[in-house]
């Protein structure tokens, strides 16, 4: 089992974590290493192992609790292990490798602080979990929520997702719908004998092209919504009028909408095509957004520690699980999120140290 030194420079700790392959559903080796390091190199923590999830918390009676949560899994390796480090004029000192951005640098910061924080102002809960990068039904944080819900109690939660060292508050919600049409198949040389299903979706595409998304400010964070066609299907052969067709539409919505109100909005947008009966709509996937909650005192103190640097989170993250429990949650970690999952995934060394210093100041 690889040994981790939690007292080492968090950059070196990041490199050590990156060099432990941990694709989703294959996190046992890294979970073993994290558990062993927490048990031997920290004091005052209750530590629990559940599958490939490692949980640790203090109970010093400090009056407030901060949750630090990060996933241990990565997307499949793409020839980008072991890590390598480069220094050049263009990017400076940079650590390369699978998981450097998403999100082993964030995990390294949390682990390093667990071992080295001398005067904590808050009790801490650390949660390292599995299977975040695959379908939601396998998400380790969801398993903890169902089986060990008491571990998710706290005043504020920080997810180590990559944000380039800036607080990204809350997250968008998302839902997908399929708009379908049916018709009658016929030879295209006798098209009048058929009923073209693809043609019936013309109004759907026109509606999407004309749609103007909403921008909304919540706690000083501007969320931009989006309604987009993300898939289309139909057709039988080059000489056949098709009898079935569909368009898949994704709605990314601000966290002041629930899934129910977001779905109502989508139905209203497509009211014209739906009213004819020629087009039907079904919900195929959904996930709630998360309000930023930056007005909460514990979250406001984190913003102050970050010198007031914050913005809205675009996309969905596990902060929504905490928001649903009434716990303000933010994303904060090293790394440019646009580099996550890429073959050339890399993180500036300076950002790892900056996030470590920021959180040390806040947690002290």
Residue 13: per-residue pLDDT: 98
Higher pLDDT, 262 or 299: 262
Domain 10-171+290-363: give its CATH architecture. Answer: 3-Layer(aba) Sandwich (3.40)
The region of weakest confidence among 47-61, 83-97, 253-267, 317-331 is 317-331
- Judged against a pLDDT cut of 90, whether residue 152 lies above it is answered with yes
Query: How many whole angstroms separate alpha carbon 266 and alpha carbon 133?
Result: 27
Residue 313: per-residue pLDDT: 85
Pick the catalytic residue: 132, 133, 243, 345? Answer: 132
Percent pLDDT > 70 in the chain is 100
Digit-coded pLDDT (tens) for 25-41: 999 999 999 999 999 99
For the purposes of burial, counting CB atoms within 10 Å of the CB of 114, is it exposed (0-12), middle (13-18) or buried (19 or more)?
Answer: buried
| CA nearest to 44, candidates 152, 101, 139, 124 | 124
Query: How many whole angstroms separate alpha carbon 77 and alpha carbon 332?
Result: 24
- Contacts of residue 15, Cβ cutoff 8 Å, sequence gap at least 6: 83, 85, 95, 97
Dig out the tokens for 145 from the structure.
Answer: 């929520």
Residue 68: per-residue pLDDT: 98
Q: What is the mean pLDDT of residues 191-216?
A: 95
Residue 328: per-residue pLDDT: 87
Residue 317: per-residue pLDDT: 85
For residue 203, indicate whether it is catalytic.
Answer: no
Q: What is the mean pLDDT of residues 87-100?
A: 95
Digit-coded pLDDT (tens) for 263-318: 999 999 999 999 999 999 999 999 889 888 888 887 888 888 888 888 888 878 88
Is residue 170 very low, low, confident or very high in pLDDT (cuts 50, 70, 90)? Answer: confident
Residue 323: per-residue pLDDT: 86
Query: Per CATH, is 177-287 categorized as 3.30.70.360?
Result: yes
Percent pLDDT > 90 in the chain is 83
List the chain domain ranges: 10-171+290-363, 177-287
Alpha carbon of 347 to those of 21, 101, 235: distances in Å? Answer: 18, 6, 45
Is residue 210 very low, low, confident or very high in pLDDT (cuts 50, 70, 90)? Answer: very high
Pick the catalytic residue: 73, 168, 219, 345? Answer: 73
Q: What is the mean pLDDT of residues 78-105?
A: 95
Average pLDDT of the chain, as a whole number: 94
Q: What is the mean pLDDT of residues 321-345?
A: 92
Burial 85-106 (b: 16+ CB within 10 A, else e): eeeeeeeeebbbbbbbbbbbbb
Dig out the tokens for 77 from the structure.
Answer: 């390796």
> What's the pTM?
0.84
For residue 132, indicate whether it is catalytic.
Answer: yes
Ordered strands of the 226-234 beta sheet: 226-234, 244-253, 173-182, 279-287
């Amino acid at each position: 089992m690889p040994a981790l030194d939690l007292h080492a420079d968090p950059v070196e700790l990041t490199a050590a974590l990156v060099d432990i392959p941990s694709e989703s559903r294959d996190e046992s080796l890294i979970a073993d290493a994290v558990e062993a390091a927490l048990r031997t190199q920290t004091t005052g923590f209750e530590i629990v192992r559940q599958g490939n999830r490692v949980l640790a918390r203090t109970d010093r009676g400090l009056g407030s609790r901060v949750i630090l949560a990060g996933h241990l899994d990565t997307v499949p390796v793409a020839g980008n292990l072991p890590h390598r480090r480069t220094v050049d004029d263009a990017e400076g000192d940079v650590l390369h490798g699978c998981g450097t951005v998403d999100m082993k640098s964030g995990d390294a910061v949390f682990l390093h602080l667990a071992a080295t924080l001398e005067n904590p102002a808050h009790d801490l809960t650390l949660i390292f979990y599995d299977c975040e990068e695959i379908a939601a039904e396998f998400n380790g944080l969801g398993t903890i929520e169902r089986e060990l819900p008491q571990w998710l109690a706290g005043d504020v939660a920080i997810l180590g997702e990559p944000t380039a060292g800036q607080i990204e508050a809350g997250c968008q919600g998302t839902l997908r719908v399929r708009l379908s049409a049916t018709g009658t198949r016929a030879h295209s040389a006798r098209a009048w004998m058929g009923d073209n299903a693809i043609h019936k979706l013309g109004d759907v595409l026109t509606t999407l092209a004309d749609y103007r998304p909403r921008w909304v400010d919540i706690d000083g964070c501007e969320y931009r919504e989006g309604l987009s066609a993300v898939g289309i299907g139909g057709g039988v052969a080059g000489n056949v009028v098709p009898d079935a067709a569909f368009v898949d539409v994704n709605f990314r919505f601000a966290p002041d909408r629930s899934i129910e109100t977001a779905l109502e909005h989508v139905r209203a947008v497509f009211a014209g095509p739906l009213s004819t009966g020629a087009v039907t709509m079904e919900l195929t996937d959904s996930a709630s957004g998360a309000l930023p909650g930056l007005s909460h005192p514990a979250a406001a103190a984190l913003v102050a520690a970050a010198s007031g640097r914050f913005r809205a989170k675009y996309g969905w993250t596990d902060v929504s699980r905490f928001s649903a429990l009434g716990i303000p949650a933010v994303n904060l970690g090293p790394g440019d999120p646009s580099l996550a999952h890429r073959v050339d995934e890399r993180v500036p060394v300076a950002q790892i140290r900056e996030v470590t210093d920021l959180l040390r100041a806040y947690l002290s």
